[in-house]
Structure 1
């Protein structure tokens, strides 16, 4: 690897300068190293998961899942036994046919935004479920995976689209490392993993 690459990676690492959480700063360094290793394999970090789990938007996401589960159980206590498709139920308790629950954003100046910020997709599995029909109460153990893409496209470095990014040369360096012929470091998928419990009355 030439010295020019070293300087570009140093610019990338400088993007964490505004983060106030030391562990998440270390996480970003590990993400940059994973990018530098050029394997393109998925990345996961326990501390990143736990920090994302504490964000208000993840709590909103989990509340949306719980509310949607309650809605279906109220109509049919065997809904999940019959492998029904869970649709999004909004805060007014209105079912949105064909609409999935909004993906969680993972944002925060502690070091989350530079590591993940927005997300691309998610998967929710019910790995444990207890429904008490007489009490109209349920208890569920979930496994949630949320995916993000650790990479930049043309719009990410367009000053008209992302004026904030234009202020930091680390984003330009990141883009060059990913896209310039002769470099082409592979972006990768970040996996966030959660195992929350949820439940409550569904009457």
Structure 2
């Protein structure tokens, strides 16, 4: 009997890692006319008009996107700075408490200055690990699903996991729910707005140690998300009515701004410990 060799990748999503061709990774590809006609993005900012490069004041706010000679003009760079400051300010309503509440402002600043470079943060990794470990639903938790399959399929006499049962590990992941930040608390703790859904997930069992009637598996989760908006996002009625998302889309997709979206990398390594369960043989 062949035994499974480790490390062993047991799951990967159909969506691939490092996918810079996705629609939400596009930038600077839409004109003012397109933004206004296709997406009705006329009222973008409460502070500055990105199309006319004029500040919005209480005196001209009633005609937000009509310009007169006495309106204060700004450079395109100054306009972008004002838009990003407003972007950060509006993000606070999505990130009100907890250790991850500063992430969204850091990620917005990374969009402003990072030129599309990938983003990592220890708090993102910590959030992912906590999510995996705290999910105790036997139907949803990939960790618990893997534990059950390992307990049932380890060859305890030969102290190994049979290679012929490798697909059962993948099936265990498929039968559960991948870690995503779409829980109620994620609407307010900063994770829903920074990550929410995810783009690609790879899961690898790094090692499996079997001793007596117990085992210890070390499992690595690698997850990527895109900090960017696609056309479907801004056409979503809920998103479109929020200035936060209108600002984001224009900063990213307007051909006179074109700030690059970026890939968010998250990684967590967990241990799964279990023991032989005769009732499952």
Q: Which category describes the TM-score, using the shorter chain as reference length? A: 0.7 to 0.9
| Kept after mapping to 2: 8 A contact 1:177/1:184 | yes
The residue number in structure 1 matching 2:22 is none
Partner of 2:101: 25
Match of 1:95 in 2: none
Structure 1 residue ranges, 4+ long, deviating more than 4 angstroms after superposition: 74-77, 80-83
Structure 1: gaps spanning 5 or more residues:
91-98
The equivalences for 1:43-192 within 5 A come to 43-55=119-131, 59=135, 60-73=141-154, 78-79=160-161, 84-85=166-167, 86-89=169-172, 99=174, 102-107=177-182, 108=186, 109-132=188-211, 134-135=212-213, 137-158=214-235, 162-192=236-266
Q: Deviations over 1:117-137 (max 9, x none)?
A: 0111112222232123x52x3
For 2:134 and 2:80, locate their aligned partners in 1 and report how far apart those are by CA, in whole Å.
Answer: 36
Please say which of residues 23-32 and 66-75 is displaced more in the overlay: 66-75
Q: Distance in 2 between matches of 1:80 and 1:6?
A: 58
When normalised by structure 2's length, the TM-score is: 0.59
What secondary structure, in the 3-state scheme, does the structure 2 residue paired with 1:195 have? strand
Q: How many residues align?
A: 190
Give the TM-score of the pair, scaled to structure 1.
Answer: 0.79
Structure with more relative contact order (C-alpha pairs < 8 Å, separation 6 or more):
2
Bigger mean CA offset, 48-57 vs 26-35:
48-57
Post-superposition Cα deviations, 1:38-78, rounded to whole Å, max 9, x if no partner, equal 42222111112223333379722322333343344269963
Using the alignment, how far apart are the partners of 1:130 and 1:2 within structure 2?
Answer: 57
Instruction: Confirm or deny: 8 A CA contact 1:58 1:105 kept in the other structure.
Output: no
User: What is the CA RMSD across the aligned residues, in angstroms?
Assistant: 2.8
Q: Distance in 2 between matches of 1:17 and 1:65?
A: 37
For structure 2, which runs of at least 5 residues remain unmatched after alignment? 1-75, 136-140
Determine the C-alpha separation between the residues in 1 that align with 2:134 and 2:243.
30
| Deviations 1:70-124 (CA, angstroms, capped at 9, x unpaired) | 344269963367893432238xxxxxxxx57642212312111011001111122
Find the aligned partners of 2:165 and 2:149 in 1 and give their Cα distance.
Answer: 14
Larger gyration radius, structure 1 or structure 2 = 2
